Amino acid sequence: MPTFWKHVNEVLREADIIIEVLDARFIEETRNREIEYKVRSNGKQILYVLNKCDLVNIEELKEKSKELQPSVFISSKEKLGTTILKKKILQLSHGERVTVGVLGYPNVGKSSLINALSGRGSARTSSESGFTKGLQKVRVDSKIMLIDTPGVFPKEEKDIAKFGKTSAISSGKIKDPEYVAMRIIEEEKERIKKHFKIEEDDPEEILEKIAIIFKKVRKGKELDLDAAARLFLKQWQEGEIK
């Protein structure tokens, strides 16, 4: 059994409540139904926390999250929703002392969420996915203890474009950035055209325009699509393309 699944099982044993951290921009893509099934099979409560809510339309988010109950919207970066999250945790624990496991895909913001809750840099954070190597316990206050974990991929998940889109794999580590960028452009075309003020409709032509905008041109005026795609992915993952 891979180490991270060993960690997941440890958290399920120790925690009273499990937080599944989701990226508010990509709710379905960052849900780990394998974990959700395990949580429920172990008779534990699950709380959905939709992070990065500052990057989406809140009314649309409310509609999309109706089936995810209970759920809380937060932005670790902007320190939004953390008080509401603490109240929700204590509501679920009926005001008793509680241990909360924090699970989710790599780079959805688990460690940043813990830091926002605890009010200090207790959990190590990094923009590089996979930074949290093992379990870390962090006390939020006299009643709430959090357990941070490494990011967990579903066992059967192999979609590299999805991992690039959701930041589960950092832009610098993606082996075929051009393919991943084209997939994202295809799926999020109107948003990307609007951001870069591009008229073209074909994904390949859009990427070529982006390369020109980024000034990624080799000698002989040949476009460096690989470098342009990697820079595009970096901006995408850092939330610059809203």
Give the CATH number, domain containing residue 76: 3.40.50.300
> Both 134 and 230 in a single domain?
no
Instruction: Supply the pTM of this predicted model.
Output: 0.68
The better pLDDT of the pair 232, 168 is held by: 232
The better pLDDT of the pair 225, 5 is held by: 225
> Both 140 and 209 in a single domain?
no
Establish if 153 belongs to a structural domain. no
Establish if 9 belongs to a structural domain. yes
Nearest by Cα to 187 from 206, 214, 174, 168: 206
Q: What is the pLDDT of residues 34-75, one digit of tens each?
A: 889 888 888 999 999 999 898 888 899 999 889 899 999 998
Nearest by Cα to 87 from 46, 143, 23, 20: 143
Q: What is the domain extent for residue 225?
A: 160-237
Q: State how many domains the chain has.
A: 2
User: Could you tell me where the DSSP H helices lie in the chain?
Assistant: 3-14, 27-30, 33-41, 58-64, 82-92, 110-118, 160-165, 177-187, 189-196, 203-213, 225-237
Q: How far apart, in whole angstroms, are the C-alpha atoms of residue 94 and residue 117?
A: 19
Q: What is the pLDDT of residues 136-177, one digit of tens each?
A: 788 888 899 998 877 665 555 567 777 788 777 888 888 888
> Both 143 and 179 in a single domain?
no
Q: How far apart, in whole angstroms, are the C-alpha atoms of residue 127 and residue 32?
A: 21
Q: How far apart, in whole angstroms, are the C-alpha atoms of residue 195 and residue 97?
A: 46
What is the Cβ-side half-sphere exposure of residue 220, based on CA atoms within 13 angstroms? 2
| pLDDT at residue 3, rounded to an integer | 59
